[in-house]
Amino acid sequence: MRHITIGITQGDINSVGFEVIMKVLAESKIYEGKTFIVYGSPKAAAYHKKSLDLPNFNFNVISSAAEALPKRANMIDCVGEEVRVDAGMATQEAGKYAMMALQAGYEDLKNNNIDVLITMPLNRDSVQKAGIVFQNHTNFLGRAFNTTQHSELYVSDALKVCYVSSASQLSQVVKSISKDAVLEKIVALNDSLRYDFCITKPKIAVLSLNSELGDDDAVITKAVEEAKASGFMTVGPYTAESFFASAKYKDFDGVIGMYRDQVVTPFKALAYDDSYLFTMGLPKICVTPQMDLDYANVGKNNADESPLLCAIYSAYDLLKQREEYAELIKNQLK
Render pLDDT for 49-62 as a digit per residue (tens, 0 to 9): 998 988 889 999 99
On average, the pLDDT of the chain sits at 94
pLDDT at 214: 67
CA distance 117 to 101: 11
pLDDT of residue 106: 97
Domain 157-271 has CATH 3.40.50.880: no
Q: Which residue has better confidence, 212 or 43?
A: 43
**What pLDDT, on a 0 to 100 scale, did the predictor assign at position 314?**
97
Average pLDDT on 225-231 reads 97
* pLDDT of residue 11 exceeding 90: yes
Residue 252: pLDDT band with limits 50, 70, 90? very high
Q: Count the Cβ atoms, other than its own, within 10 Å of residue 263.
A: 26
Q: Enter the DSSP assignment of 280.
A: E
Query: Residue 331: pLDDT band by 50, 70, 90 thresholds?
Result: confident
Contacts of 330 (CB under 8 A, 6+ apart): none
Q: H or E stretch including 285?
A: strand 285-289
pLDDT tens-digit readout, 56-88: 899 999 999 999 999 999 999 999 878 999 999
How many residues does this entry show for the chain? 334
DSSP for 131-160, written as a single string: T---S-HHHHHHHHTT-SS-EEEEE-SS-E
The pLDDT value recorded for residue 15 is: 98
pLDDT at 171: 77
The pLDDT assigned to 1 comes to 74
Largest CA distance in the chain: 63
Per-residue pLDDT, 241: 92
For the cut 80, the answer to whether the pLDDT of residue 206 exceeds it is yes
In whole angstroms, how far apart are CA 135 and each of 36, 82, 132, 250? 27, 27, 10, 31
Q: How big is the CA angle at 257 (ends 254 and 261), to the nearest 5 degrees?
A: 120
pLDDT on residue 174: 85
Q: How confident is the model at residue 119 (pLDDT cuts 50, 70, 90)?
A: very high
Strands 151-155 and 276-280: antiparallel
Highest average pLDDT, of 40-44, 273-277, 325-329, comes from 40-44
Same fold, 1-152+276-334 and 157-271: yes
User: Residue 81's pLDDT is what?
Assistant: 78
b/e map of 81-118 (b: 16 or more CB within 10 Å)?
eebebeebebbbbbbbbbbbbbebbbbbbeeebbbbbb
- Tell how strand 151-155 and strand 160-165 pair up: antiparallel
Predicted confidence (pLDDT) per residue in 166-198, tens digit: 887 777 888 889 999 999 999 999 999 999 999
Question: Which one, of 112, 122, 128, 113, lies nearest residue 76 by Cα?
Answer: 113
Which pLDDT value is given to residue 333? Answer: 66
Domain 1-152+276-334 fold is: Isopropylmalate Dehydrogenase (3.40.718)
pLDDT at residue number 168: 74
Query: Mean pLDDT over residues 257-281, rounded?
Result: 94
What are residue 203's phi and psi, to 5 degrees? -105, 120
What per-residue confidence (pLDDT) applies to 334? 60
Residue 141, pLDDT > 70, answer yes
Q: To the nearest whole percent, how much of the chain has pLDDT over 90?
A: 85
**Domain positions in the chain:** 1-152+276-334, 157-271
332 has a pLDDT exceeding 90: no
Among candidate residues 90, 87, 88, 67, the one with its CA nearest the CA of residue 77: 67
Of the CA atoms within 13 Å of residue 142, those in its CB half-sphere come to: 16
